[in-house]
Amino acid sequence: MMKFKLLLLLAVLPLSMLLLSCTSGKEKPYKVSRIAMDTLVSITVYARSEEKAEKAMDNAFKELNRLSDLLNFFSETSEVALINRSAGVSPVKVSKETFEVIEKALSVAEDTGGAFDITIGAVSSLWDFHKKTLPDPELLKKSLKSVGYKNIVLDKEHSTVYLKKKGMKIDLGAIAKGYGADKAVAVLKNNGIRSGLVSVAGDIKTFGAKPDGSSWRIGIKNPRPQSEGEELIAVLSLGNNAVSTSGDYERFFIKDGIRYHHILDPSTGYPASGCRSVSIITKEGVYTDAFSTAVFILGSERGMEVMRKIGLEGMIIDDEGNISTTEGMKGAVELVRKH
C-alpha cells in the first residue's frame, strides 16, 4: 500500500511539474507605450494571449486617462482646476480619487515638515522650463504667500476640498503619476494579469514574478552622463513594489552657470539644492512619487533621516555625485558606476 502511494506520488509529481511549466511557458511578454498623464507611459504584462494582454493594457490606459482628466493641473476642466478657481470662494465636491490623492499629499507634507507641499501651484505656474526664463522675483515673492498646505481644508464626509486663500493653487505633479501607476496595476490585476510593470515616466510599479522566476530590473539614470554608455548609474531589482526617481536633469535649464529645475523648495520658491537624484522604493507608487520629490527637497542628510523614520528604502545622489543608500536597499541595488 505504502509502496503504491509512493509510486503514485512519483508519477504525479513530474506530471504536475510539467503542467506548471507548460502553463507558465505559455505566458509571453507584451508591451505597449503611449502618451498618458502628459508623459510617456509603458506597460508590460505577461499573458497567455495577445487578446487578453491588449484588453488589460487598454483598460489600464483608460484608467490613466480618467485620472488625468481629474487631476491635471493644466486642463481647465479637471477637478484640480475647479478647486483652484474656487480658492477663497467655496469648497468643491470632488471624486474619491481626487480626495484620496490630496489626503495622502497632506500626510506626506506633515511627514516632511512641509518640504512636500502641493500648494506650490501658485509658484510652479510661474516657472517655464521651455522658455528657459526665470520668474519675476517680485511676483515670485508675492506668490509665495499663497503657498501653505495648512490652508487646505478637507471634509471627508462631504468629499470636499477648500483652499482658504484666494490665489492658492494645488499642483499634483509630484504625486499623481505614482498614484496613476498604482491604479493602472490594480486594473491589470482585475483583468486577470498576474505579472506586469507600469511606468509613468519615472514612476514605476511592478507586480508578480516573471515566468522564468527572474525579478523585474529597473535602471536608474545617471544624472550627469559624460559620454555614451554612461546613461545608467544603477540597476534595481524590484519585487511587488513601486520605485520613483526625482531628478534635476528631467526638466531644467542652465542660465549663467546655474541649473534651474522643476523641484521647488516651498520656503523660497526656487529649485531645491543639495541633490541630483532621489529614488524611493515602497509598496505604493503614490508614496514613492511624493517622497522622492520631498526627500530631494530635504537634501541628503535630512532626507535620509526622514526615510529612516518612516521606513522607506531609497538611494540619494547628492550635488557632488556621492551615492547613499538605505540599509534595506543595499541588496536590491547594483551600482553600474560611481559617478
Candidates 264, 289, 277, 95; CA nearest to 175 is 289
DSSP 199: E
Number of other residues whose CB lies within 10 A of the CB of residue 189: 16
* Largest distance between two CA atoms of the chain: 91
Which C-beta is closer to ligand ADP: that of 165 or that of 251?
A: 251
Which C-beta is closer to ligand ADP: that of 30 or that of 149?
A: 149
User: How many residues bind to ligand ADP according to rule CB under 6 A?
Assistant: 20
Say whether residue 294 binds Mg ion (CB under 5 A).
Answer: no
- Mark the segment that binds Mg ion (CB under 5 A) among 2-10, 263-271, 284-292, 301-309: 284-292
Strand 152-155 relative to strand 92-93: parallel, antiparallel, unpaired?
unpaired
Q: Which of 98, 246, 279, 282 binds ligand ADP (CB under 6 A)?
A: 246
Say whether residue 293 binds Mg ion (CB under 5 A).
Answer: yes
Q: Which of 135, 266, 274, 285 binds ligand ADP (CB under 6 A)?
A: 266
Q: Which of residues 7-66 bind ligand ADP (CB under 6 A)?
A: none
Say whether residue 279 binds ligand ADP (CB under 6 A).
Answer: no
DSSP 173: T
Helix ranges, the chain (H)? 2-26, 50-71, 79-85, 96-111, 121-124, 137-144, 176-190, 285-298, 300-310
CB 316 within 8 A of CB 306: no
Say whether residue 97 binds Mg ion (CB under 5 A).
Answer: no
Task: Find the shortest distance in angstroms from Cβ 246 to ligand ADP.
Answer: 3
Say whether residue 242 binds ligand ADP (CB under 6 A).
Answer: no
Say whether residue 297 binds Mg ion (CB under 5 A).
Answer: no
Binding residues (CB under 5 A) for Mg ion: these are 174, 289, 292-293
